[in-house]
Amino acid sequence: MTKRLYNFFPGGGSDPGINPSFLVELKATCPQNGDVNVRLPIDRGSERVFDKQILQNIKDGFAVLESDSRLNDDIITNAIIDSYLGILNPIFGPSFEADFVESIVKMGHIGAKTGQQGHVRRVCAAFS
């Protein structure tokens, strides 16, 4: 989070994808050189409910995670987000909740390698 708030570009600056009013709030909660263990709700506005509010937050620049924010930058994922937020969505559109559950079930069938077949990735950003 610190990089996104204070050093997003070489030489400093904040992520321009963050809503300006949210940026002030984030910087107050996460001051530069502050406590890195401060916890933030990922889904502002419905922290304790599983719903599509996180998608609206992403659209409006209130994404806490940079990876969530980047979903809005891509034309394909942006269109998917829009499909869940449309005015007629509750009646005619796709269900974010049902689609999310289906995707988690599919991921559960991927199968992780364990024991001698698997290994621990030491650098999370690198493919092994």
Residues 14-54: pLDDT tens digits? 999 999 999 999 999 999 888 888 888 888 888 888 888 99
Give the span between the Cα atoms of 19 and 120, in whole angstroms.
37
Confidence of residue 128 (pLDDT cuts 50, 70, 90): low
Do 75 and 81 contact (CB within 8 A), yes or no?
A: no
Span 68-89, average pLDDT = 88
Q: How far is Cα 41 from Cα 28, in angstroms, rounded to an integer?
A: 15
How many angstroms separate the CA atoms of 99 and 87, rounded?
Answer: 18
Tokens of 68: 């969530």
What would the mean pLDDT of 81-87 be, rounded to a whole number? 87
The proportion of the chain whose per-residue pLDDT surpasses 70, expressed as a percent, equals 98
> What does pTM read for this prediction?
0.74
**Residue owning tokens 């559950």:** 101
Residue 69 is classified by DSSP as H
